[in-house]
């Protein structure tokens, strides 16, 4: 627990900045919705007939003129990309920051051992992702309350549950990158978060690469899909869990065998 | 003309209970690059042991292999009777380490760094930590980012000594410390040693090694070149020879038979000669230099 507490203290600033940024953006958009409701009504029909664009954003299934549709098609996307970027950055820096910041000689000569270190750092990353969710949800809930309209609670919670697994998968893959690096690969991590979103978009538009949906966790955690169907694809969630566990195990293996620089 | 004899590597064996560090035929390479090669030596418990070598000789590599930061390809390291590969965590509980570069988390305060080191060991070292902080004049409320190298070294000393370890591993401990703090530091080292702590000191400051160390190992290009007591090393039979010949002065180190030296000097037809015992610095340079 010592190391977990230490990591949470080290990451608290980044966590608060990211979660409040995403939360406040969504909060602000929710407050704007009421004022834009009439305009949205007029635009909703046009948005639903924009072919691939409508398919990708779910505008062919949900109306942007409703609170639920607006949240699922617009704000859910902000949350997904922002959350994935936060998870990616946290994962990518978790292990490599010790060697980059020359603190590995201090940390690894305390009687923790590498097993303990990687285990508790991973748990700290997962805890940060959970806290990110909670803080952003609090801002969103406040926005819904002031706007006077809530989406369906079950779908809302299902979406955020799926988002947690998506962010954990992205964070775990970036932790694997971190395990093998001596420097924080922030660029790689952010690029990965964006690339996975692009893969989700592409596989929805191009039938030939539909199978790409199994490679990107954005697919099963898509807000429009969840709010439309009322459920999460358990098969794809299972694949996400397998990838998450595999990434962690590989990170563990790499880190245990690695020579650590001072 | 310089005559050199290669020193035999001597292993000191004894009961495992009397040995703090046992390094047996350890080899560590970095791909094609040499780290350390077939390194073997033993540090008895209660010793203040000097570990010397030129830059890039493999001193830090050896220390990091001992502490589990590097994986070595061959050999065995036992610290306080425990296997360095399999029992790293248990070893680190009993070891205090002071690295050459004292780097900590910049946003943390000194007291938080010290507390993290204590909590990692699940011990209560408050009184000892405060005592050492007072002796070294450490400001516990400052952030690490506000500290100079010397002040970070002081924090490193507190973290290494507060839990009264059985083994102290010190890598260039006094670099960055002012002379007064160096005195205080060695007082603390001697205090720990008087309690039974073994001290393993890697240093370039030969006056410290001469003053405080009982035994010393010299490593060069990843291999052990000398292992002996400081006393024996200074009485090694190595001589600094200065000769004057035709108005020109030459100097060389000689290790060998006195009669051979006299014969050589006779053939050189020198005008004058001065034969002295070398200082530890000169001995050190002698072992560091390439063989002629």
What is the average pLDDT across B167-194?
Answer: 94
Whether the per-residue pLDDT at A113 is higher than 90: the answer is yes
Would you call A2 and B95 a contact, using CB atoms and an 8 Å cutoff?
Answer: no
Q: How far is A259 from chain B (nearest CA, A)?
A: 5
Lowest mean pLDDT among A136-140, B53-57, B130-134: B53-57
- Nearest-CB residue to A110 (from B30, B70, B117): B117
Which one, of B232, B189, B219, lies nearest residue B288 by Cα? B219
Cβ pair B228, B216 in contact under 8 A: yes
Q: Is A157 on the interface with B (CB under 8 A)?
A: no
Whether the per-residue pLDDT at B16 is higher than 50: the answer is yes
Give the pLDDT of residue B31: 86
Q: Which residues of B touch A120 (CB under 8 A)?
A: none
Lowest mean pLDDT among A187-191, B220-224, B277-281: B277-281
Q: Is B95 on the interface with A (CB under 8 A)?
A: yes
Would you call B68 and A108 a contact, using CB atoms and an 8 Å cutoff?
Answer: yes
Quickly state the pLDDT bin for B206 (edges 50, 70, 90).
confident
Q: Across all residues in chain B, what is the average pLDDT?
A: 88
Would you call B101 and A10 a contact, using CB atoms and an 8 Å cutoff?
Answer: no
Would the pTM of this model clear 0.90, i.e. be above it?
Answer: no
Distance CA B248, CA B75 (A): 50
Pairing of β B48-52 and β B95-98: unpaired
Render B244-274 in DSSP notation, one character per residue: EETTEEEEEEEES-HHHHHHHHHHHT-SEEE
Whether the per-residue pLDDT at A236 is higher than 90: the answer is yes
Distance CA B143, CA B258 (A): 60
Q: Which two tokens stand for residue B225?
A: 């070149």
Cβ pair A90, A171 in contact under 8 A: yes
Give the pLDDT of residue A188: 96
CA dihedral (B176, B178, B182, B183) in degrees, to 10, reads: 180
Q: How far is A76 from chain B (nearest CA, A)?
A: 34
| Contacts of B292 by beta carbon, 8 Å cutoff, 6+ apart | B2, B4
Q: Parse chain A into domains and list their residue ranges.
A: 2-257
Q: How far is B120 from chain A (nearest CA, A)?
A: 6
- Nearest-CB residue to B103 (from A3, A103, A257): A103
Q: How far is A20 from chain B (nearest CA, A)?
A: 22
Give the pLDDT of residue B4: 29
- Nearest-CB residue to B119 (from A2, A10, A113): A2
Would you call B105 and A103 a contact, using CB atoms and an 8 Å cutoff?
Answer: yes
The CA-CA-CA angle for residues B269, B274, B278, to 5°, reads 130
CA distances from A11 to A76, A94, A103, B216, B258 (A): 24, 9, 16, 44, 68
Distance CA B219, CA A150 (A): 72
Would you call B89 and A257 a contact, using CB atoms and an 8 Å cutoff?
Answer: no
pLDDT digits (tens, 9 = 90+) for A159-212: 999 999 999 999 999 999 999 999 999 999 999 999 999 999 999 989 899 999
Q: Is A116 on the interface with B (CB under 8 A)?
A: yes
Q: Is B33 on the interface with A (CB under 8 A)?
A: no
Would you call A108 and B99 a contact, using CB atoms and an 8 Å cutoff?
Answer: no
Q: Which residues of A touch B104 (CB under 8 A)?
A: 103, 106
Quickly state the pLDDT bin for B3 (edges 50, 70, 90).
very low
Q: How far is CA B126 from the centre of its chain?
A: 29
Render B140-201 in DSSP notation, one character per residue: TTSBGGG--HHHHHHHHHHHHHTT--SEEEEESTTTT--HHHHHHHHHHHHHHHHTT-EEEE
How far separated are the first and last CA of chain B, in Å rounded? 9
Quickly state the pLDDT bin for B11 (edges 50, 70, 90).
very low
Q: Is B273 on the interface with A (CB under 8 A)?
A: no
Would you call B97 and A111 a contact, using CB atoms and an 8 Å cutoff?
Answer: no
Orientation of helix B179-194 relative to helix B126-136, angle to 10° = 150
- Nearest-CB residue to B93 (from A111, A114, A116): A111
Better pLDDT: A51 or B103:
B103
Indicate the helix (H) or strand (E) that contains B223.
strand B223-229
What is the average pLDDT across A225-230?
Answer: 93
Give the pLDDT of residue B62: 96
Better pLDDT: B277 or A178:
A178
Helix (H), strand (E), coil (C) string for B106-120: CCCEHHHHHHHHHHH
Whether the per-residue pLDDT at A243 is higher than 60: the answer is yes
Render chain A in DSSP notation, one character per residue: -HHHHHHHHHHHHHHHHHHHHHHHHHHHHHHHHHHHHHHHHHHHHHHHTSTHHHHHHTTTTS-TTSHHHHIIIIIHHHHHHHHHHHHHHHHHHHTHHHHHTT-HHHHTTSTT-HHHHHHHHHHHHHHHHHHHHHHHHHHHHHHHHHHT----HHHHHHHHHHHHHHHHHHHHHHHHHHHH-SS--HHHHHHHHHHHHHHHHHHHH-GGGGGGGGT-TTTTT-HHHHHHHSS--HHHHHHHHHHHHHHHHHHHHHHHHPPPP-
CA distances from B85 to A95, A124, B98 (A): 21, 27, 20
Would you call B101 and A101 a contact, using CB atoms and an 8 Å cutoff?
Answer: no
Would you call B69 and A260 a contact, using CB atoms and an 8 Å cutoff?
Answer: yes
Residue of A nearest to B90 (CA): A111
DSSP 8-state secondary structure symbol assigned to residue B289:
S
Q: Which two tokens stand for residue A94?
A: 């978790």
Quickly state the pLDDT bin for A56 (edges 50, 70, 90).
confident
Q: Which residues of B touch A104 (CB under 8 A)?
A: 69
Distance CA A116, CA A121 (A): 8
Q: Across all residues in chain A, what is the average pLDDT?
A: 92
pLDDT digits (tens, 9 = 90+) for B55-110: 889 999 999 999 999 999 999 999 999 999 999 999 999 999 999 989 999 999 99
Residue B290: strand, helix, or coil = coil
Give the pLDDT of residue A150: 86
Quickly state the pLDDT bin for B12 (edges 50, 70, 90).
very low
Would you call B89 and A111 a contact, using CB atoms and an 8 Å cutoff?
Answer: yes
- Nearest-CB residue to A262 (from B71, B99, B105): B99
Residue B8: strand, helix, or coil = coil
Interface mutation target, options A105, A253, A258, chain B, most CBs of B under 10 Å: A105
Extract the runs of DSSP E, i.e. beta strands, from B8-54.
Answer: 19-30, 33-44, 48-52
Cβ pair B95, B169 in contact under 8 A: yes
Whether the per-residue pLDDT at B280 is higher than 80: the answer is no
What dotted CATH number matches B16-233? Answer: 3.40.50.300
Quickly state the pLDDT bin for B236 (edges 50, 70, 90).
low
Would you call A108 and B69 a contact, using CB atoms and an 8 Å cutoff?
Answer: yes
Distance CA A32, CA B14 (A): 80
Q: Is B97 on the interface with A (CB under 8 A)?
A: yes
pLDDT digits (tens, 9 = 90+) for A14-50: 999 999 999 999 999 999 887 777 777 777 777 777 7
Which one, of B88, B75, B81, lies nearest residue B28 by Cα? B75
Quickly state the pLDDT bin for B291 (edges 50, 70, 90).
very low
Would you call B89 and A116 a contact, using CB atoms and an 8 Å cutoff?
Answer: yes
Would you call A110 and B67 a contact, using CB atoms and an 8 Å cutoff?
Answer: no
Q: Which residues of B touch A112 (CB under 8 A)?
A: 89, 92, 120
Whether the per-residue pLDDT at A136 is higher than 80: the answer is yes
Give the pLDDT of residue B78: 97
Q: Is A182 on the interface with B (CB under 8 A)?
A: no
Would you call B103 and A2 a contact, using CB atoms and an 8 Å cutoff?
Answer: no
Residue of A nearest to B29 (CA): A259
Whether the per-residue pLDDT at B8 is higher than 60: the answer is no
Cβ pair A27, A143 in contact under 8 A: yes
Chain length of chain B: 292
Q: Which residues of A touch B121 (CB under 8 A)?
A: 110-111
| Contacts of A70 by beta carbon, 8 Å cutoff, 6+ apart | A29, A33, A40, A64
Residue B207: strand, helix, or coil = helix
Give the pLDDT of residue B14: 53
Would you call B103 and A106 a contact, using CB atoms and an 8 Å cutoff?
Answer: yes
């Amino acid at each position: 627990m010592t190391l977990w507490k230490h990591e949470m203290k080290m990451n608290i600033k980044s966590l608060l900045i990211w979660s409040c940024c995403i939360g406040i953006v969504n909060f602000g958009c929710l407050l704007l919705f009421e004022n834009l409701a009439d305009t949205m009504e007029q635009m909703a029909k046009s948005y639903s007939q924009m072919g691939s664009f409508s398919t990708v954003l779910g505008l062919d299934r949900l109306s942007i003129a409703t609170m639920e549709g607006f949240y699922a098609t617009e704000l859910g996307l902000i949350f997904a990309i922002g959350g994935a970027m936060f998870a990616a950055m946290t994962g990518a820096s978790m292990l490599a920051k010790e060697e980059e910041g020359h603190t590995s000689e201090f940390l690894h000569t305390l009687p923790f051992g590498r097993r303990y270190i990687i285990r508790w750092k991973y748990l700290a990353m997962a805890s940060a992702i959970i806290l990110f969710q909670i803080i952003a949800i609090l801002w969103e809930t406040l926005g819904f309350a002031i706007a006077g309209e809530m989406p369906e609670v079950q779908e809302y919670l299902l979406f955020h549950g799926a988002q947690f697994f998506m962010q954990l998968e992205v964070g775990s893959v970036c932790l694997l990158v971190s395990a093998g690096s001596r420097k924080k690969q922030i660029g790689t991590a952010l690029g990965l978060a964006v690339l996975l979103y692009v893969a989700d978009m592409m596989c929805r538009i191009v039938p030939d690469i539909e199978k790409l949906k199994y490679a990107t966790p954005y697919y099963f955690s898509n807000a429009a899909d969840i709010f439309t169907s009322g459920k999460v694809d358990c098969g794809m969630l299972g694949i996400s869990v397998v990838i998450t566990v595999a990434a962690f195990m590989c990170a563990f293996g790499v880190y245990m065998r690695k020579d650590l620089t001072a | 003309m310089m005559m050199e004899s290669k020193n035999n590597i001597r292993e000191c064996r004894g009961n495992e209970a009397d040995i703090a560090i046992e390094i047996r035929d350890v080899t560590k390479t970095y791909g094609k690059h040499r780290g350390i090669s077939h390194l073997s030596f033993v540090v008895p418990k209660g010793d203040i042991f000097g570990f010397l070598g030129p830059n890039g000789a493999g001193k830090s590599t050896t220390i990091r292999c001992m502490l589990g930061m590097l994986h070595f390809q061959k050999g065995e390291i036992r610290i306080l009777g425990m296997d360095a590969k399999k029992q790293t965590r248990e070893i680190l509980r009993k070891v205090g380490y002071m690295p050459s570069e004292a780097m900590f988390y910049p946003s943390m305060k000194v007291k938080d760094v010290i507390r993290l080191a204590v909590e990692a060991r699940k011990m209560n070292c408050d009184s000892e930590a405060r005592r050492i902080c007072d002796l070294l004049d450490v400001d516990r409320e400052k952030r690490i980012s506000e500290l100079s190298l010397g002040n970070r070294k002081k924090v490193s000393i507190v973290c290494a000594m507060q839990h009264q370890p059985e083994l102290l591993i010190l890598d260039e401990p006094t670099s960055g410390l002012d002379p007064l703090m160096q005195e205080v530091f060695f007082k603390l080292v001697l205090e720990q040693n008087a309690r039974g702590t073994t001290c393993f000191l890697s240093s370039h400051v030969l006056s410290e090694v001469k003053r405080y160390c009982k035994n010393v190992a010299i490593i060069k290009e990843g291999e052990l070149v000398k292992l002996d007591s400081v006393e024996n090393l200074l009485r090694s039979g190595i001589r600094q020879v200065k000769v004057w010949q035709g108005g020109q002065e030459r100097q060389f180190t000689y290790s060998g038979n006195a009669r051979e030296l006299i014969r050589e000097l006779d053939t050189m037809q020198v005008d004058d000669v001065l034969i002295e015992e070398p200082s530890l610095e000169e001995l050190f340079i002698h072992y560091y230099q390439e063989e002629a």
